[in-house]
Amino acid sequence: MNNIVEMPIAKAINAGLREALKNDPKTLIFGEDVAELGGVFRVTEGLHKEFGQQRVFNSPIAESGIVGTAIGLAMRGYRPVVEIQFDGFIFPAFDQITTQLAKLQNRSEGFLTMPVVIRVPYGGGIGAVEHHSESPEAYFAHTPGLRVVSPSNSNDAYWMIQQAIESTDPVLFFEPKRRYWQKGPVNLDGAPAHLHAAAVLRAGTHVTIATYGPMVPVALQAAEIAAAEGNSIEVIDIRSMSPIDFATIVESVKKTGRLVVAAEASTFVSVSSEIAARVAELAFYHLEAPVIRVGGFDVPYPAAKLEELFLPDADRILEAVDRVLAY
């Protein structure tokens, strides 16, 4: 019988981390304030007390050092899980991630594996100050050798963090911070979907919306509104930004003939751009309208009082739906 419990995304990640620590003594968690405090968002709360200072510990405020240490530990057979406290803090570690972590397995012809997970709270919607509300996923999805994923619900959060830790490849695990306290069911005894498989969350026949992370609830809201207007919207949570499950998206587009891609990130040279280009390549003769991308505007992330204007809402998605349906 399924053991289903209701919990927020933050608690689901915490529960998944606990299982990983129990199952493999080589799993370690470290980062800024992740031990006694449990992290800024309390995602690692209680783990230091349960597993001790040798397994869950704080690091200096030095992101490059955090990732560099994780690389060294991975070389010695450990499975480090590191937290980048806020999305905008990841850039001091960019060199370590893209020129070392992403390449060592290939460079060593598989002699070295890099089972490193980098947890990144990302996106806006929390009224934070500068450098605390970024969407940098495209930088890493563009880099060969890295896996990039993002859960949008509690069940995925619980299972995907465990799958990421079990991977022998480095995984960037982007956590939608404004959804941390969004509750949902977690099937503790269930069989998880493949880490890089997209999920059809709502079936439809007129338009496909492909999205991920913090935008998934917005896309589902837009689909509800559209249904009241007589339009049937299929919503796909891509879940993985590298690799992307294009087969699921293309299958949907072949049915609906129309695609809207929605994300918080700016659309220029983005994950949304790649999806739009690949669908145009693979499903050209099935498209009844151009693929339209909906995202943040191509400006630096604004001050907190303006972020509601920057972040895509259901109205902006529905405007795109109207545009593709007009063809």
> Are 286 and 156 in a shared domain?
no
State residue 129's pLDDT score. 87
> Are 48 and 122 in a shared domain?
yes
Task: Tell me 197's DSSP state.
Answer: -
When the pLDDT of each residue in the chain is averaged and rounded to a whole number, the result is: 96
pLDDT at 198 over 70: yes
Distance set, CA 88 to CA 61, 120, 230 (Å)? 14, 9, 41
State residue 13's pLDDT score. 98
pLDDT at 1 over 70: no
Mean pLDDT, to the nearest integer, of 284-302?
96
Mean pLDDT, to the nearest integer, of 9-20?
98
pLDDT at 249 over 60: yes
> Are 104 and 174 in a shared domain?
yes
Please give the model's pTM, rounded to 2 decimal places: 0.96
d(CA 271, CA 250): 16
pLDDT at 281 over 60: yes
Query: Hey, what are 161's tokens?
Result: 């963090």
Instruction: State percent of the chain over pLDDT 70.
Output: 100
pLDDT tens-place string over residues 81-126: 999 999 999 999 999 999 999 999 999 998 999 999 999 999 998 8
Query: What's the structural domain count of the chain?
Result: 2
Tell me, what CATH number does 247's domain have? 3.40.50.920
User: What does DSSP say about strands 4-8 and 183-187: parallel, antiparallel, or unpaired?
Assistant: antiparallel
HSE, side-chain direction, 13 A CA sphere, residue 218: 26
State residue 316's pLDDT score. 97
For 211, list phi and psi in degrees, rounded to 5: -155, -175
Tell me, what CATH number does 108's domain have? 3.40.50.970
pLDDT tens-place string over residues 115-158: 999 999 999 988 888 889 999 999 999 999 999 999 999 999 99
HSE, side-chain direction, 13 A CA sphere, residue 255: 18
Angle 180-51-172 from CA coordinates, rounded to 5°: 45
pLDDT at 302 over 80: yes
> Are 218 and 139 in a shared domain?
no
Active-site hit among 48, 131, 132, 206: 132
Is residue 192 one of the residues assigned to a domain? no
> Are 163 and 231 in a shared domain?
no
Phi-psi region of 111 (alpha: psi -120 to 50; beta: other; left: phi over 0): alpha
Is residue 265 one of the residues assigned to a domain? yes
Query: Hey, what are 1's tokens?
Result: 């019988």
Residue 194 is among the residues annotated as catalytic for this protein: no
Residue of 164, 4, 154, 143 lying closest to 82 (CA atoms): 164
Residue span of the structural domain in which 320 resides: 199-325
> Are 243 and 141 in a shared domain?
no
> Are 181 and 284 in a shared domain?
no
> Are 262 and 242 in a shared domain?
yes
Q: Residues for the chain: how many in total?
A: 327
Is residue 240 one of the residues assigned to a domain? yes
In this structure, are residues 151 and 196 in contact, taking their beta carbons and an 8 Å threshold? no
d(CA 57, CA 160): 22
Residues 6 or more apart in contact with residue 108 via CB below 8 angstroms: none
State residue 152's pLDDT score. 98
